[in-house]
Structure 1
Amino acid sequence: MAEMGFDVVGVDTDPAKVQALSEGHVPFFEPGLPGLIAEHVASGRLRFTTDLAEATAFADVHFICVGTPQQRGSNAANLDYVQAATRQIAASLTHDGLIVGKSTVPVGTGARLRAIVEAASPAHLTAELIWNPEFLREGKAVADTLTPDRIVLGGVTPRSEATMRELYARPIASGTPVVVCDLPTAELVKVSANAFLATKISFINAIAEVCELAGADVTVLADALGHDVRIGRQFLNAGLGFGGGCLPKDIRALMHRASELGAVRAASLLQQVDEINMAQRQRVIDMAIGACGGSVLNRRIGVLGAAFKPLTDDVRDSPALNVAAALHLRGAQVVVYDPEASGTAQRMFPTLTYADSVDEAMTGSDAVLLLTEWTEFQDSDPVALRALTRRPVLIDARNCVDAAAWRDAGWSVSGLGTTPAPTVFASGASYEASAADLLLAVR
C-alpha cells in the first residue's frame, strides 16, 4: 500500500518484530519484499508500532490481517485473533472509519464481527466493516499485491466501495477486475479457491496411481490435460502434495463449516482431497524404505528441500519435513538441505541434521529424496553428485528433474506417477549391489 502511494502504519503485538521491521528487516523470506520495506521505511511512508490506539487514530482504513489457525483438536478456524483485533480497532476509533477484513475466515464470520463493531465503537462515530479477501501466493506476494488477478469487495456500501476503489486505483487502472458481492460470498471466495486448487492437486495424484499401475507417465498426461483451456496446467504437478499455512488449513476449515451447515457432499469431497494428499507422504516414505532394502535403520538419507514449496522459507505443514521426520523416527540418518528454509526447519525439527549445500546433503547417502522443487536442485549436475553418494538412488517426489539425464549418469530414478526405466550402473563404480538393490534397479 505504501508503494501505491499511501501512508501506512503496521501494528503487531510483538515488539521484537516491530523493531526489526522498523529497521527494514523482514522476519521471513519473500522475494522483493525486503527492498520495498526498506525503501518505504526510509521514506517515512511506512512505519510500524505496537500501539493500536496510535495507529487507529492515524488511519482512515483499517485492514485486519491476523491469522486464523486451526483450533486445537478441531478442524475449525480459531477466530480469537480476528475478533480481538476487530473489537480493539472499533473501541479505539477517534473518527469515522472503514474496517476491512482480509483474514481467511469461515462464512458467517463477518456478520458476527459487525455486531462486535456496533457494540464496541463510540456511539457518535460511523464504523463500517467489509471483506476484501487476499489471494497472495508465498514467493510471489509482492507481484500479487501490486498486480492482483482480481479484487473482491464484500458487503460494501456506495461510500465504502468508492473508498476501496480509490485505494486500488493503480491495479484497477491496469485492468484488474473488481468483483462486488455480499459479505458471505466474499468470505467464501478465498477458501473455495484454495479448496479447488487442492482438489486439482489431489486429483492428479489419484490419477498418478493409475499411471503407475498402467505404465503411463503422469507428467506427460498433465501436459496434455493442461492444453485444455477449461482445465489449465497449473496445480497439475503430481507428487508429494500440498502443504503450507493455507491450503491444508483452509480446506479443513471449509470442511468443518460445510458440515455445520449440513453440506454433507461438499464436506465428503474435501475429506477425500485431504486424505489423498496425506497419503502421498506415506507413499514417499514407503518408497524410501523400499529403496533401502526394506529398512532405513542406520541408512543415510539425503533430503533436498524443507519448505512446503520453493521461493519461501515457510515450513508449516511441510510435506518435505513430514517425510524427513518420519524417516528419522524409523532410525534413518536424515540430512536436510534447503536454500532458504533450513533455519525455520531447524527450529521446528531440531533433531534432524541440516546441511549447508546439496553436496553435503548427498555425501555418503544410501538414497536421496527430492522433496521441494527448488531450481537449484533441478539444475544440479547428476554426474558430479553421483560420485558423492554411496548408492546413486534418487526419489524425485516432485517429478521435476530430467530423469533421463540422471539415469544416463548412473542413477536409479523413481517418481510418483511415472514408471522408472531400468538402470545400468557404470562398470567399475564403487557400488555394492544387494539383491534388493538389483530389484530396485530393474523394476
Structure 2
Amino acid sequence: MKLTVIGTGYLGATHAAAMAELGFEVLGLDIDPDKIAMLSRGHLPIYEPGLDELLQRHVDGVAGSTGRLRFTTDWQEAADFGDVHFVCVNTPQKRGEYACDMSYVESAVESLAPHLTRPTLVVGKSTVPVGSAERLAERLAALAPAGAAAELAWNPEFLREGFAVEDTLHPDRIVIGVRSEEAEKALREVYATPIGAGTPLVVTDYATAELVKNAANSFLSTKISFINAMAEVCEAAGGDVVKLAEAIGYDDRIGHKFLRAGIGFGGGCLPKDIRAFMARAGELGADQALTFLREVDSINMRRRGHMVEMAREACGADGSFLGKRIAVLGATFKPDSDDVRDSPALNVAGQIQLQGGQVTVYDPKGMENAARLFPTLTYAASALEAVRGADVVLHLTEWREFRELDPVALGSVAAVRRILDGRNTLDPQTWRSAGWTFRAMGRPRV
C-alpha cells in the first residue's frame, strides 16, 4: 500500500514523515513549490520537536535516508502513486465570521478527484464542520472517473503541538468514520503498528468522526476556561487558584491536566474550532446546545485583557504605560512550538505597545514568526537582553528555559524587579527571595 499526503503544513508534514517511519512509501503533495523544495532537501518551514530528524531519516535524496518519502506539486503523479490519499490541509476561521473556511479542503478534493481512475480511498484528517464528509463524498464520486470506487473516509487528527511526532506514532486513540468494510480494512492496515501496540480504534459513521474532534476541543477549551474563571473568583476572594486546582485535580473525575490558570489558550486550533462548532450548531438548529461555548470563548479572551490591566497596575500609581519598558518572555501560543497564531502572549504585548509601552519580546523559537506578525515590537536575542532596563517583566509562554532563569542575574539588569507570571509555572518564593515583586494570576498578593 502506498500513501499520499495532501497538504504539507504542520499536520501534513508530520503525518507524511510518521507514515514513512511506519514503513510505508509516501508521497507528499503541496501547491507551494518553495515548500516542496525545502521539504525535498529534508528541511521544515516549521519547528516541531523531533520532526526534523524524522523527516531526514526518510526523505529520498538525503544521505543515509530510507528514501521512503518524496514530495511533489503534481496531482496526476499523486493520483497514480497512492492507494490511500490523506487530506491534511488547513481549515481556518472565515474572515469576519465564526464559521470554518472549507475552501482548502474542497479545493484539495476537487483537484485530486479528476485524476482518480482506479479504486482508491481518500481520507480527510482536517477538522471540519459536521456534515462536511457526507457532502465531500458525493463530490468525490461525482468528479472521479472511478466513480463510487473513489471512496471517502474521515480520520480526525488529535495532535498536540510540541508532541506531534509522538502523538502520530503512538496515538492515544484512532477514530475512523467509514461507509464500507473495505475502507475500514485499508485504514486498519495503515494503522496496524499502533493498533498492534494497543492503541484503541473507534470505528464510526462520518458525522460521529467529525464530531469527536469538535467535542474534544470544546471540552479542553471548557476545562481551561473553567479554571480561569476560578482564578477570577480567587482574586476577588483572596484565594489561591494553584492550590484550588491541585485539590480538585485529585478527583479522578476531574484530573489535573488543563487546570493551570493563566492568560488562556490560543493557537490555530482551539479558538477557531469552538467558534466553528457554534456556527455549525446554529446551522443545524442546535445552537442552544452550545451556548456555553460562547462564555468559554469570552472567559478566554478576557484573560488577555486582565494581564494588560495587571501590567498597567504594576507600572505605578499613574496607571500609564507611557515611558515604561515592558519585557515579554514568550511569543508562541505554547512552548515547544514556533506557532504564533492567535498567541495570547503576542496579543498582550501588542495591546501594551498600542497603549504607549515600550515592549521588548524574547522567545526561544517564535521570534521570526512573531516579527512577521508584529513587526513594530522590539525583539531581543535572549531573555537577559529583553529584561535589560525593564520596569515590568511578563512571563507569558511557559518555556522550560524561562522556568530555569536565574532571578538574581535578571534582577541585576532590570530597572525594577517586578514580574507577573501569566502562566503560573514560576516559583514565587524563588523570585521573591531574589528581591522581585512577584504576582501571578489567581494567586494572593504578598
Assess if the C-alpha contact under 8 Å between 1:256 and 1:267 holds in 2: no
Offset at residue 227 of structure 1 (A): 1.2
Q: Which amino acid aligns with 2:221?
A: A
Matched, 1:414 2:439: yes
Offset at residue 113 of structure 1 (A): 0.2
SS in 1 for 2:42: coil
Tell me the equivalent position of 2:125: 102
Structure 2 CA distance, aligned partners of 1:324 and 1:37? Answer: 34
Of residues 5, 19, 43, the one that matches 2:37 is: 19
Q: Which amino acid aligns with 2:49?
A: P
SS in 2 for 1:364: coil
TM-score (norm 2): 0.93
Of residues 280, 287, 291, the one that matches 2:310 is: 287
Tell me the equivalent position of 1:306: 331
Tell me the equivalent position of 2:12: none
Assess if the C-alpha contact under 8 Å between 1:98 and 1:127 holds in 2: yes
SS in 2 for 1:184: helix
Of residues 286, 289, 295, the one that matches 1:272 is: 295
Deviations 1:42-98 (A, max 9, x none): 321001111111011100000000011111111100111111111222111132100
Offset at residue 123 of structure 1 (A): 4.6
Structure 2 CA distance, aligned partners of 1:303 and 1:156? Answer: 50
Tell me the equivalent position of 1:213: 236
Q: Which amino acid aligns with 2:436?
A: W
Bigger shift: residues 305-314 or 34-43: 34-43
Aligned length: 421
Matched, 1:373 2:406: no
Offset at residue 202 of structure 1 (A): 0.4
Offset at residue 155 of structure 1 (A): 2.3
Equivalent residue runs for 1:142-181 within 5 Å: 142-181=165-204
Tell me the equivalent position of 1:38: 56
SS in 2 for 1:335: strand
Structure 1 CA distance, aligned partners of 2:334 and 2:421? Answer: 14
Q: Which amino acid aligns with 1:146?
A: L
Assess if the C-alpha contact under 8 Å between 1:61 and 1:97 holds in 2: yes
Structure 1 CA distance, aligned partners of 2:236 and 2:350? Answer: 28
Of residues 100, 104, 129, the one that matches 1:81 is: 104
Assess if the C-alpha contact under 8 Å between 2:119 and 2:146 holds in 1: no
Structure 2 CA distance, aligned partners of 1:355 and 1:123? Answer: 56
**Cα distance change of structure 1 residues 405 and 110 upon mapping to structure 2, 3 Å threshold:** same
Matched, 1:401 2:426: yes
Tell me the equivalent position of 1:363: 388
Structure 1 CA distance, aligned partners of 2:363 and 2:111? Answer: 40
Q: Which amino acid aligns with 1:34?
A: D
Offset at residue 318 of structure 1 (A): 0.1
Assess if the C-alpha contact under 8 Å between 2:264 and 2:303 holds in 1: yes
Runs of 4+ in 1 over 3 A off after TM superposition: none
Tell me the equivalent position of 2:8: none
Structure 2 CA distance, aligned partners of 1:343 and 1:266? Answer: 41
Matched, 1:387 2:408: no
Offset at residue 31 of structure 1 (A): 0.3
Deviations 1:98-157 (A, max 9, x none): 000000000000111011112101156711101000001100000000000000010241
SS in 1 for 2:21: coil
Q: Which amino acid aligns with 2:286?
A: A
Bigger shift: residues 207-216 or 393-402: 207-216
Offset at residue 266 of structure 1 (A): 2.9
TM-score (norm 1): 0.94
Structure 1 CA distance, aligned partners of 2:311 and 2:399? Answer: 20
Matched, 1:62 2:85: yes
Assess if the C-alpha contact under 8 Å between 2:228 and 2:264 holds in 1: yes
Assess if the C-alpha contact under 8 Å between 2:141 and 2:149 holds in 1: no
Assess if the C-alpha contact under 8 Å between 2:419 and 2:439 holds in 1: yes
Tell me the equivalent position of 1:4: 22
Tell me the equivalent position of 1:324: 349
SS in 2 for 1:153: strand
Q: Which amino acid aligns with 2:45?
A: P
Of residues 277, 280, 303, the one that matches 1:257 is: 280
Unaligned runs of 5+ in 1: 422-443
Structure 2 CA distance, aligned partners of 1:125 and 1:209? Answer: 55
SS in 2 for 1:43: coil
SS in 1 for 2:389: coil
Assess if the C-alpha contact under 8 Å between 2:20 and 2:26 holds in 1: yes
Structure 2 CA distance, aligned partners of 1:211 and 1:289? Answer: 20
Determine what percentage of the aligned residue pairs are the same residue: 58
Structure 2 CA distance, aligned partners of 1:134 and 1:404? Answer: 40
SS in 1 for 2:20: coil
Of residues 114, 126, 147, the one that matches 2:137 is: 114
SS in 2 for 1:419: coil
Structure 2 CA distance, aligned partners of 1:242 and 1:65? Answer: 23
Structure 2 CA distance, aligned partners of 1:81 and 1:402? Answer: 44
